[in-house]
Amino acid sequence: MPGSTPSQENTTYPLSAGQVLLPKITLKQLSVFISIYQTGSTSAASEQLHLSQSAVSSALTELEERLKMPLFERIGRRLHKNDNAEAIYIQAQAILGQCLTLEQYHKYQAGRIHIGASTSIGNYVLPSLIQQVYGDRPDAKVEFFIGNTRDVVSEVEQLKVDIGLVEGMPRPTDSKLIEQRAWRTDQLVVFAKKDSKWLAGISPIIQRGKNKSKQLTTQQLAKSPLLVREPGSGTRQVVDEQLLRYMPEAEVVLAIQQSEAIRNMVKADIGFGCLSQHVIEADLEQGSLIAVDIKGIDLQRVWWMIWHKQRHKSDIWQEFVAGLEAENNS
């Protein structure tokens, strides 16, 4: 309509290629204006904002020059609101409110970490790591994803988690994008039910530290069912590369997605299992399960921490990684 003013939300500012439109109005000028609008004087605004009175007056003058309109009428020592002031006040409050929201979001993000962990780590090690994070940062926001190693690597590649803790050698799609560092060592253990039928006639029990074990050859193990994790699991990767490659004659290999399921099936004497020592440690100490040493086979492996090289490394991320590295060096 003739004489009407386009609303702010419908106003656009076309820019040529490469041009950036930067406002000349500052947040300081808007803060000063809001304070004067609320208190009615530059001296009160000066006290409220902890600025000199000359700095307050200068900021107000600069804002009025930028807007090309007066905001207050100066009568004596008092400032009286001009007709323009209310509309500018509403917009200034909205702008500062958005800035404060942005600051709060930044603080939230700075204290947030999303951790991915493969199954054994997630179930048996991650809880104490998260407890340590909360001990250092009570207001931390911790999210976590638990899956097999292949799934965690995929989450890291897609920037869905900040850091991944995985078993077995990570094999990302593009190794140039993924940083990986050795973190801990872990021992895989072949185990069976105590007095298992699959151990009948096997050599006497051997004392291994505080736990007991029996010893088999790969040929003897190959004649019994072996319960292992599914392909894609870091545990399965080590079993394939460091055990099954020496057992081409293995009769039955059952792939199961859950470590707890393997543990319980071995307790039911379905066959032998092969899992991280963390999964069966308590059972070995209680004597319900027994470790089985495989002659000539070492099932030690490395746990890795991995992250995407383009991922932002927040303060909490750096603290978490530093804690893992300190643990590795201790």
Instruction: Report residue 316 as tokens.
Output: 């909490």
pLDDT at position 69, please?
Answer: 87
Q: What average pLDDT does the segment 73-93 reach?
A: 83
pLDDT at position 9, please?
Answer: 44
pLDDT at position 93, please?
Answer: 87
pLDDT at position 5, please?
Answer: 41
Lowest mean pLDDT among 19-23, 97-101, 168-172: 19-23
Contact between residue 221 and residue 272 where contact means Cβ atoms under 8 Å apart: yes
Q: Quick: pLDDT tens for 238-274.
A: 999 999 999 988 878 889 999 999 999 999 999 999 9
CATH numbers and ranges of domains, the chain: 22-109 (1.10.10.10), 111-185+302-329 (3.40.190.10), 186-301 (3.40.190.10)
Q: Quick: pLDDT tens for 20-73.
A: 555 688 889 889 889 888 888 888 888 888 899 899 889 988 988 888 888 888
pLDDT at position 207, please?
Answer: 62
Counted residue by residue, the chain has a size of 330
Q: What average pLDDT does the segment 165-191 reach?
A: 89
Average pLDDT taken over every residue of the chain: 86
* pTM for this predicted structure: 0.67
Q: Quick: pLDDT tens for 279-317.
A: 999 999 999 999 999 999 999 999 999 999 988 888 899
pLDDT(97) > 90? no
Q: What average pLDDT does the segment 107-120 reach?
A: 83
pLDDT(16) > 60? no
How many other C-beta atoms are found inside a 10 Å radius of the C-beta of residue 288? Answer: 14
- How far are the Cα atoms of 48, 123, 223 from residue 255, in angstroms, in the given order? 69, 19, 17
The share of the chain scoring above pLDDT 70, in percent, equals 87
pLDDT at position 210, please?
Answer: 66
